[in-house]
Chain A
Amino acid sequence: MKVFMLGWEFPPFISGGLGTACYGLTKAMSNLGIEVLFALPKPVEASHATHVRMLTPKPTPSGTEIEYAYDEMRNVRFLAIESMLSPYDVPQQYHEKFEAVIRTKRQVESAAGGAEDQAPGITHYAGDMFTEVHRYANAAVKLAMEEDFDVVHAHDWMTYPAGNAVAAVTGRPLVVHVHSTEFDRSGEHVNQMIYDIERRGMHAADRIIAVSHLTRNIIISRYGITGDKVEVVYNGVERNGNGDAAFMPRSGIGSEEKIVLFLGRITMQKGPEYFLMAAKKVLDEMENVKFVMAGSGDMMHRTIEMAAEMGIGHKVLFTGFLRGDDVERVYQMADLYVMPSVSEPFGIAPLEALNHDVPVLISKQSGVAEVLTHVLKVDFWDVNEMANKIAAVLKYPPLQLTLREHGNFEVRRLRWQDAAERCARVYSDVMVHV
């Protein structure tokens, strides 16, 4: 079986859970002997690519396509399409990035004395995000026509047009994988264009994979898809040995202090303001606790201001976006991980926290709440109860102990291998039908 997969991001170039999910799923598929061709809308920066092996860079009219491979995934080949798409951008951010690229290009070219009307580099990017999505689709089609495969698998909305086009050109069945919907990211203020792309992609697909029943319900009720077309495949988690991370100096945090961790993008979807409101209540009750917010996002400044306005600025630390070892360290310090998401299709981060022996408190509005039992659950809006549970974990050590023991055991049952096997079953289904 050979799969043409279309994604947005892949480690080490990630900004969130999607890249982690694609990595885990693809690796497990490779182990099952499924061949994967992975097309990514991401420029490969060689400096980051330590465990990535370049194969054959080949400049083409549609952009620079670079083939590379991971040593640990023998059955996977990566096709990178140079593009500025990144999964959690909004159109404005894309526009800013585009402007920045044009400015640099102009500077470079005027310095070089080249007086062409348009810099050649700019043709690689389109002027707005939606055109870029279609430019990416076009590039993907060209790549796909040189390859042979059985099924097309597209991850989230930016790749749906590409998936749709590749399926149409090659006649292969299309599976779209919904890791998140516009309703999760934007609440009721959806971007109509993104919604339309999602809707078209889901209707064009032969089968849809949702990461939870929560997401499946949104797909059925908001996108008008019939239930028999939507499968639920839960994400897994990589089991990594922990405890080898270096000791992190607890700067600004006393050794007697407890640490409550928020780790994720600081955006409306993740509910940072509910975290702060709960933090305020906990701090009214107890002294020796710090709240750490690790991550960045469009609500970061607003959140910092909010903490200051609430008078708890000195108790809330912002670390910015963390990678690699820093993530390990912050988990090692944490007494509790909180995910107060307003709408979380799945939520891999709590699994990683459990993997690092950190007990977790998650919102009931998350897909991962469907698979975890040995965790604390709360409605994201119920800040009183959230604070109650945070305080309980900090006050009653046996609670932390029991959650950690059982949670760490439970998380081992969530394996990417099972997710990959379920995807493979979906592939066989659609390959028979078409």
Chain B
Amino acid sequence: MSSVCFYFQVHQPFRLRHYTVFDRTPHYFDEFKNASICRKVANKCYLPTNRLLLKLIRKFGGQFRVSFSVTGVLLEQFHKYCPEVISTFDALAQTGCVEFLAETYYHSLSYLYSRSEFADQILKHIEMIEQLFGQTPRIFRNTELIYNNDLARTINAMDRFDGILAEGADHVLADRSPNFVYQPPDCDRTRLLLKNYRLSDDIAFRFSNRQWKEFPLMADKFARWINHVNGNGNVVNLFMDYETFGEHQWEDTGIFDFLSHLPYEVLKHPDNNFLTPSEVVERYQPVEVVDVPHIVSWADTERDLSAWLGNAMQSNALHEVYRLEGLIKQAQNEHLTADWRRLQTSDHFYYMCTKYFSDGDVHKYFNPYDSPYDSYINYMNVLSDLRKRCLASASGSAALTSA
């Protein structure tokens, strides 16, 4: 049996506005830029792809199934800038063929810095998904698929998740195949699904690459590769950014045609089907325990943390933002908390990455700043203003209690 498990990551950060050391106003985010990017991507990707998926789900009478993780910060932006997108996700949710996963609401690296913040953000995300789409997530994916044994144990201990997603990196798998369900050590409930990065990246990265020897990639060819898994695997985990459709791979690359033909080509083989992650863990027993003592992620070729934590600026910015936790919790001010949490979104630290910066590559494409240095300066200026506000609020409340 080969089951295809699609999972799409849907995320946009709250980008910061230009904020100098001389700025004093508590408005940190670039409304105009965020609105225009959100609407642009909605028109190029979210709306047309949601529509196509809905059509396919109806056409195949429930045999075609997918899953999403939509971050809280993007859902907030949908509310503000293009609420119709939420309705189209809701329409997908109502089909019963679409599963929504849980992650940290703010797409943050809180797992690495604050366990209480990590738990709070997951619960906040679950609450929002329940409210919007009427389902309670049973599968967890951490920001950028950052994962290790300890994360699995933490998630298992929350006793609400049946599975967790991670990167099927070579050094994690050794000679194992990503096409099975695995079990993290010391976890009775939570199962592990590993991304098949070769087949995932064929769609997400190589699809429009004319130098690639498999170019052009057609749905029938891709379905044949899936068929090969039959007999030596249970599930092909295709995990990718949702923006692959229409935004990273533009419409004229034929990505939508590919997607619209794929279910038919895959289902042609009687042993194939589509499953959502929680259906995968229900149907297949874990074959082995996979030990991942060191952190893996799905980023870059290194599959580690170096995209967010690779230089002194990134490490400093992260430490500084989490150092504010005490002050923020003390202040109990919802504006301060919201600003602080939006500053935790991993994208802010990704923009500060100096890896490959001289070569100008994918990091540059997604970067609203001219350089990682500009991004760090901007972030730190915002953070020091937030800190001032926290201190002012703390001294204000101290004055109140003493009076």
| Interface size band for A | 20 to 34
**Within 8 Å of chain B (Cβ to Cβ): is A227?**
no
Given contacts A388-B20, A410-B358, whether A398 and B316 have CB atoms under 8 Å apart is: yes
**Within 8 Å of chain A (Cβ to Cβ): is B4?**
no
Please give, as numbers and ranges, the residues of chain A lying within 8 Å of B312 by CB-CB distance. 398, 401-402, 405
Interface class of chain A by DSSP: helix
Kindly report which residue of chain B lies nearest to residue A396, judged by CB atoms.
B380
In angstroms, Cα B312 to Cα A402, docked, is: 6
Q: B311 to chain A: closest CB distance in Å? A: 5
Most-contacted residue by chain A among B358, B377, B380, B384 (CB, 10 A): B377
**Within 8 Å of chain B (Cβ to Cβ): is A172?**
no
Q: Which of A211-219, A237-245, A370-378 contacts B (4 or more CB under 8 A)?
A: A370-378
Please give, as numbers and ranges, the residues of chain A lying within 8 Å of B354 by CB-CB distance. 374, 402, 406
In angstroms, Cα B20 to Cα A281, docked, is: 12
**Within 8 Å of chain A (Cβ to Cβ): is B381?**
yes
Please give, as numbers and ranges, the residues of chain B lying within 8 Å of A406 by CB-CB distance. 354, 357
Please give, as numbers and ranges, the residues of chain A lying within 8 Å of B311 by CB-CB distance. 398, 402
> What's the tally of chain B residues with a CB closer than 8 Å to chain A?
20
- Of A281, A374, A399, A405, the contact of B377 (CB 8 Å cutoff): A399
Q: From residue 361 to 401 of chain A, which have CB atoms closer than 8 A to chain B?
A: 373-377, 384-385, 387-389, 391-392, 395-396, 398-399, 401
**Within 8 Å of chain A (Cβ to Cβ): is B376?**
yes
Whether the Cβ atoms of A392 and B357 lie closer than 8 Å is no
Interface string of A390-434 (1 = CB under 8 A from B): 011001101101110110001000000000000000000000000
**Within 8 Å of chain A (Cβ to Cβ): is B365?**
no
Q: A183 to chain B: closest CB distance in Å? A: 26
Please give, as numbers and ranges, the residues of chain A lying within 8 Å of B313 by CB-CB distance. 396, 398-399, 402
Q: From residue 369 to 391 of chain B, which have CB atoms closer than 8 A to chain A?
A: 370-371, 373-374, 376-377, 380-381, 384
Q: B361 to chain A: closest CB distance in Å? A: 12
**Within 8 Å of chain A (Cβ to Cβ): is B315?**
yes
Q: A72 to chain B: closest CB distance in Å? A: 32
**Within 8 Å of chain A (Cβ to Cβ): is B22?**
yes
**Partner-B contacts on A (CB < 8 A):** 281, 285, 373-377, 384-385, 387-389, 391-392, 395-396, 398-399, 401-403, 405-406, 410
**Partner-A contacts on B (CB < 8 A):** 20-22, 311-313, 315-316, 354, 357-358, 370-371, 373-374, 376-377, 380-381, 384
Which 8 pairs across A and B sit closest by C-beta, in order of nearness?
A388-B20, A398-B316, A398-B312, A392-B377, A391-B21, A373-B358, A398-B313, A401-B312
Given A285-B22, A374-B373, A392-B377, 7 more pairs with CB closer than 8 A: A375-B373, A376-B373, A392-B376, A395-B380, A396-B380, A398-B376, A402-B373
